[in-house]
Structure 1
Amino acid sequence: MSNSTFAHQPDLSSIIISKTENGKFVLQINSSLTAFQQEVNYINGVGAYKTPEEFRNLVIKNFNTTFSIILNEKDTLTFVNPTVILGHETKIVAEISGMPKNINAIYLKNELFKDIHNNQSVVMFSLEDFPTKINYELNNDNKHELNIILKDGNWQIVEKFDYAVYLKYALYTLAFFLVSFLIYFIIKKVKKTNPQ
């Protein structure tokens, strides 16, 4: 998708993780200025900022509480000096610290735009040892989470077991059996008290 697409659609964003020529790891999140404004206003209320600097500070505060990356199931990455670059396409850029040498699992969660209807983020890795041939999508269906592991040389999505869905169907099944038993018991009692 082109940058102009992200600049004009508040429900679209991109996450790019790359390495600079001098060896620093960098995170960049792109979306429309409107998307950042909608989220800041939703969380803090309209009128929460009066200057661009106050707006940037609120965006960074939101970023710090809604975005995370964990590698190898134990290495939580930190983001150094996050900066907000304002424009039609607005960006958060931060240096990534804590990158391990070998990577076999990636967990990324981005709820930065979770309150925007039908929002989706495209995750792109531009690093060796990361899945560079596939772009992943984060949305409401996967709870804005990417969970992948390296297995037999291939990156695979870890399917999450949804206990809520399992519990819902278990309760429906239990209710069905209870109602069936109750109906059976009532019919049996009626036949016993009113023999024909």
Structure 2
Amino acid sequence: MKKIIQYSLLLLFLCSSTGLWAHQPNLSSTILMEKENGEWIIQIRASLTAFEYEVAARFGQDAYKTAEEFKELVVKQIEQSLSVKFNEGESLKLNKPQVRLGHESSITFELEGKTENMNLIEVKNTSFEHISRNQAALVVLKKGFAKNQFMMNKENNHQLYLKAEDNKFEALDPSTEKQTNVYALVLLLGILLTGIAIFLLVNKQSKIAPSTPNL
């Protein structure tokens, strides 16, 4: 019960903090939180203006007539733009969307998929890609882990890779890992080709070597 209260207070603090950004459509927040039962939810918060602008950019100015129709388009917008993966697995399914409209609006999903023994998180969120200089603060709330904030923006393609280490998350540079993997692959391929070349050369020499005459 104590932990639930702590997480509730922390989420309330984060909500009030993001409220300071409600006047800036290019700023948003993405909160990934583990619940007491081990399941995960994700919430995206931004100004209503940001959601309206993005819905219009994707679906047209006259795409909705009622608030309910607008909510449906917000859900569709986020489903098209948000991806969460644990341990390099498949994208977790976004279930049970809840949209709250206001000066600062939010949408919350329950995540369905394999979430046990999670040590690597990949989050990509291009929900507001049509808004100039948009950026989103990512906060991960996991039991027993330090609370850190990371930024998703144009520089990292609105995508973050977080590794769990020593009860905290650290941002990884995927380009560095990919580059290292490429170097390793090139080295392995070079060794393989060299071995094949040596084998063919030795085999060729053995075939053309003069035979010893019988005395």
Question: When the two structures are superposed, what TM-score results if normalisation uses the length of structure 1?
Answer: 0.74
Please say if 1:81 is aligned against 2:96.
yes
| 2:161 equivalent to 1:147 | yes
Query: Number of residues paired by the alignment?
Result: 162
Root mean square deviation, CA, Å: 2.3
What does the per-residue CA deviation read over 1:63-96, in whole Å, with 9 as the maximum and x for residues that have no partner? 1110010110014211111121100010001112
% identical aligned pairs: 37
CA distance 1:86–1:154, shift in 2 (3 Å) = closer
2:173 partner SS: coil
- Contact 2:34 2:143 survives alignment (8 Å): no
Whether 1:38 and 2:53 are equivalent positions in the alignment is yes
Shift of 1:151: 5.3
Post-superposition shift, 1:21? 4.9
Greater strand content: 1
Partner of 1:118: 133
Separation in structure 1 between the aligned mates of residue 74 and residue 87 of structure 2, nearest angstrom: 28
SS at match of 1:137: strand
1:15 corresponds to which residue? 30
Q: Assess if the C-alpha contact under 8 Å between 1:78 and 1:97 holds in 2.
A: yes
Q: CA deviation at 1:22?
A: 5.7
Tell which structure's C-alpha radius of gyration is larger.
2
In 2: Cα distance, 1:57 partner to 1:140 partner: 27
**1:30 shift after superposition:** 0.5
1:136 is matched with 150
Correspondence for 1:161 = 175
- 1:133 Cα deviation (Å)? 2.9
Residue from 34, 47, 54 that aligns with 2:69: 54
Q: Quick one: structure 1 residues 151 and 20, their matched pair in 2 at CA, closer, same or farther if it must change by over 3 Å?
A: closer
Q: Report the Cα distance in structure 2 between the residues aligned to 1:116 and 1:7, rounded to whole angstroms.
A: 14
Alpha-carbon distance between aligned partners in 2 of 1:3 and 1:154, rounded to the nearest angstrom:
22
Going by fraction, where is helix more abundant, 1 or 2? 2
Gaps of 5+ in 2: 1-13, 179-215
Partner of 2:120: 105
Q: In the alignment, is the contact (CA less than 8 A) between 1:19 and 1:127 conserved in 2?
A: yes
1:152 CA drift (Å): 7.0
The residue number in structure 2 matching 1:26 is: 41
Deviation at 1:28, TM superposition (A): 1.1
